[in-house]
Structure 1
Amino acid sequence: MKTKKQNKKSSVCSCLNMRRASLAMTEIYDHYLEPCHLSISQFSILKHIDGMEPVSVSELAAAIRLDRTTLVRNLKPLE
């Protein structure tokens, strides 16, 4: 798996290091989900729906801490 060239040196800022780690993990998950035509964000939404069903859009948005309109926009391609 090829990843973007990253600065290997960690930052003195813990927050920045966490953000870099999060982005790296997202790239890994997205790479392995690519054959399914899903992103990790879409997969996470589907897992929440599966675990909470039946669930309203408002309840789902609250559970995954996402604005309702953003969630609706992310659900469109999954429909």
Structure 2
Amino acid sequence: MNSDLILNKIIQEVSLLSKKDVINYNQEIFGKDGLLDSLNVLHIMLFIEREFNIQINPENVTLDNFGTINKIYDLIKLYE
């Protein structure tokens, strides 16, 4: 899948959940200054699994892999 398409799908989902615009690909998504709370990690994970037809290993469900749009993108590419 095209990189821009993947990034746009991630941005749309994060923006939908947060009801805020994503400023850049390295913006923190979770945490004190993030757009979403930690409960949304599961939602994002399920979205990725459905949208990109991948199964994320539970040990990869970390803030290191879900902290920014770029990190989520890298995780998706790891499974392609």
Higher relative contact order (CA 8 A, sep 6+): 2
Q: Which has the larger radius of gyration?
A: 1
Q: TM-score, normalised by structure 2?
A: 0.27
Which is richer in helix?
1
Q: TM-score, normalised by structure 1?
A: 0.27
